[in-house]
Structure 1
């Protein structure tokens, strides 16, 4: 209607394409008709190149009336967004000699004004306010400084800060004054210094795993980047477990398993990663138990879905034998996920998302009466996973050989992981259906107390049970939109007692790890959320406690994004002594469950009566 709706400006003279086609993206969905109106291309004049655009042209600057032989200190404050990614490139030169410092640390120097020097200063900047200083010594003749600072942002655009009259200059220790702009790059007498000189001075660093200094952690804690995963060689990590010697085993979502010895474990001075020579991978569940590695595969490109046991058959200290214990049918990212040891050491619990077909169970604590129990016509929205029947995601228990399977709970959407607290209670972090946001049947991501025989009421579309239904349990705490991944209790960490007792849950989409502080509520719990770790990007995939160094480890990755391994330690002043165990009022439920879980039919009949 005569109003400009979208305007895109390309100031990247070096990399822009001036030939080809312009493609317009339309989001997927039902067939539709889309019209674009009044498209036009405008060629910008050189005068449109401004401070703040990639490729912005820097200026030669100098204080007016400064002596021919003098020392001038230039300064410029700049802000770095907390969610930046990529490199921070500094380039410049000065007549005659110069020294660049960032936040008080020398980063660049030179004595030949004809050569533009450059470096990536990513390691020297911090989130928020930073200060750049340049000490320039002029030994006669014209003096001048020219500089450019470029910050790569999360959307891969580049914010440029160039030398101009907004900088400050102090002549021979005097008061700060605004310098005079002498002209842009290429002016006389410095004609050899051009924009091309700046473009070639240093390339922006290829983005690696999110730097630790960009990660916000709770007060008193420190995050450390242990390893930035080379994507081409080792993929994108989605799962990990701790081995008794303190090493880790991790999995590439679409590739192999790797053994990781973190820095500081087994006297390692650097983190080392070695591929395991095993015919198994693509794991979304890993755990070390019963002197074996248990692997849960969610159908990938090579390995079939199911639960596998990997052992050292010849006792030479190297895993060498892979055996499938259970076949599970599930595809995409909604199939089988985590495997967790039971607290009593008798078996393992397997977590299955809502596209995992129910397998044969020897015992079921859940009444097997589930069905498509919505009386009114169902709304499917955009129809994702239409036709997938009740009961959706489920959790079952098995012994170390994959036998004596017992169905524990049903009705989840796509819970990725589970964790037991010190009292033997099981918890999981269940997913939402993000396309349902703002509909009456939207159910947010939430932490659930997985009681024996529970049915949480997931059904496709509008068919899911409301949380207030008496047939089900409400959540411990609702989080909101997100993508639940790994969870773990903080037991065994050298953290203050409050954080030792917390349940840590990872959200892949929003780059947040929450500490859920649980409180007794009758025979169940309520939870209070605390944002414990966050950054952008920070696609969290898994979290574990390493009992060897008593630290919390987490990984980022998944869906072929850049991956990394991190460690969180406590550096504050509070006591980190083991937390005193709190006794909850649990006798009534434990008495009921002891009969309910009994293998003796007479006991169950007595309970029913």
Structure 2
């Protein structure tokens, strides 16, 4: 019993340096839970907190943060910022949330796939001219379990461990995500990149219809149904949305009550919604029939099962779906998806091999190590899911595809993000000609 009391005393003393950190200028870091040395898992959620002191009256407080893939930031128990874009941070004025004395900044991070982390910087300007900064770094403590009051002052973070750093602001693959962050007032709605800042070909014009708001997730796929309505899927578990347009404006927005989420590929065709998403049997290709033609979808039918631990889930999983000139479905998958078991032996692309001259050099960080041909691929199948064929392959992680007027299939592929700036890094157009010779071209 005495030993137990003594241990609790030491826990409390050890936590004091982290709980009451002084303010000083620092560079924020991408941090995540240490996971006892294991790599972050897909869809895992982690919790973080840090206490700090404000000595004096506050003039202004500005919070900037980004999450890979999602982060919610809390100040003294109140959520003040939500970000779902690891490439671009959000900024918010949080002056009214900071008080003299002890304060707590906390974060809830969620990973979709691959890399995980978040980065945050709280800039404080005190009356009298003094300034201070609170940043995400290894002085934060983290946990893999949510506990009551974890985001509030007074919480005892017993059992929480120091966060792990994956690099300072500017590190790859993220880059300087805080550059150009637009400052918003507390509670302000999110706004997408201004349409006028996007470059277009002559004769085209871009208009911003709607920006994803809090609770709507990060939009990653879209299709148009037979009535011209947009069907949009977030990357997470938020429901899909359907937008009805009139005179170029949104007339109605609906949340669809269907048991498939996280779709990275959508297609409306043959009075059905085809979805590469997370459904009752895992992350696979589903068909939801629109029986009455009004968008009242029936239960999902499993059309094609992607061979992976969770099917086609993840950022290198099953992606875009398009309707080909031959009225068949064409689906592009990243290089972490194996070809289906029932692949047609008469597939156009079937003569592939690991024909390397020198010994294989795996990625130094272990990402994708051991992945063998055919790599990323395009599958072709009938509208009912039958006659699955390997149409093209040899890609890395093409996300979407489409046909041009000549019937050629195009997509965009690239090398690894952390190879940015090297002489070997390249962005390539993947082209599959109309012939069925069983090869794919990659053009620089």
Both proteins in one fold, TM over 0.5:
yes
Question: Does residue 373 in structure 1 map to residue 374 in structure 2?
Answer: no
Q: Any gaps of 5 or more consecutive residues in structure 2?
A: 1-17, 38-51, 63-87, 95-118, 126-183
Matched with 2:326 is 344
- Deviation, 1:314, is 5.7
Indicate conservation of the 8 Å contact 1:312/1:321, yes or no. Answer: no
Indicate conservation of the 8 Å contact 1:331/1:355, yes or no. Answer: no
Matched with 1:353 is 334
Matched with 2:47 is none
Matched with 1:382 is 365
Indicate conservation of the 8 Å contact 1:226/1:271, yes or no. Answer: no
Matched with 1:286 is 266
SS in 2 for 1:364: coil
Question: Does residue 206 in structure 1 map to residue 184 in structure 2?
Answer: no
Q: Any gaps of 5 or more consecutive residues in structure 1?
A: 1-16, 32-40, 57-82, 90-153, 161-201, 457-472, 479-609
- Deviation, 1:423, is 1.1
Question: Does residue 450 in structure 1 map to residue 432 in structure 2?
Answer: yes
2-structure distance, mates of 1:453, 1:221: 36
- Deviation, 1:436, is 3.3
Matched with 2:20 is 19
Matched with 2:285 is 307
Instruction: Provide the alpha-carbon RMSD of the alignment.
Output: 4.4
SS in 2 for 1:246: coil
Question: Does residue 319 in structure 1 map to residue 303 in structure 2?
Answer: no
Indicate conservation of the 8 Å contact 1:399/1:405, yes or no. Answer: yes
Matched with 2:275 is 295
SS in 1 for 2:208: strand
2-structure distance, mates of 1:317, 1:377: 50
Number of residue pairs the alignment of both structures matches: 295
Indicate conservation of the 8 Å contact 1:251/1:282, yes or no. Answer: yes
Indicate conservation of the 8 Å contact 1:86/1:204, yes or no. Answer: no
Indicate conservation of the 8 Å contact 1:215/1:223, yes or no. Answer: no
- Deviation, 1:375, is 3.1
Question: Does residue 225 in structure 1 map to residue 226 in structure 2?
Answer: no
Query: Once the two structures are superposed, what CA deviation does each residue of 1:355-383 show, in whole Å capped at 9, x if it has no partner?
Result: 11111321221233423635325242211
The two structures have a TM-score, normalised by structure 1, of: 0.42
Matched with 2:7 is none
Question: Does residue 259 in structure 1 map to residue 242 in structure 2?
Answer: yes
Matched with 1:103 is none
Q: Which has the larger radius of gyration?
A: 1
2-structure distance, mates of 1:158, 1:293: 47
2-structure distance, mates of 1:18, 1:384: 36
Question: Does residue 413 in structure 1 map to residue 396 in structure 2?
Answer: yes
Indicate conservation of the 8 Å contact 2:61/2:124, yes or no. Answer: no
Match of 1:275 among 250, 255, 261: 255
The two structures have a TM-score, normalised by structure 2, of: 0.55
Matched with 1:9 is none
Matched with 2:99 is none
2-structure distance, mates of 1:155, 1:409: 42
Query: Once the two structures are superposed, what CA deviation does each residue of 1:215-238 show, in whole Å capped at 9, x if it has no partner?
Result: 344477544332232322x32211
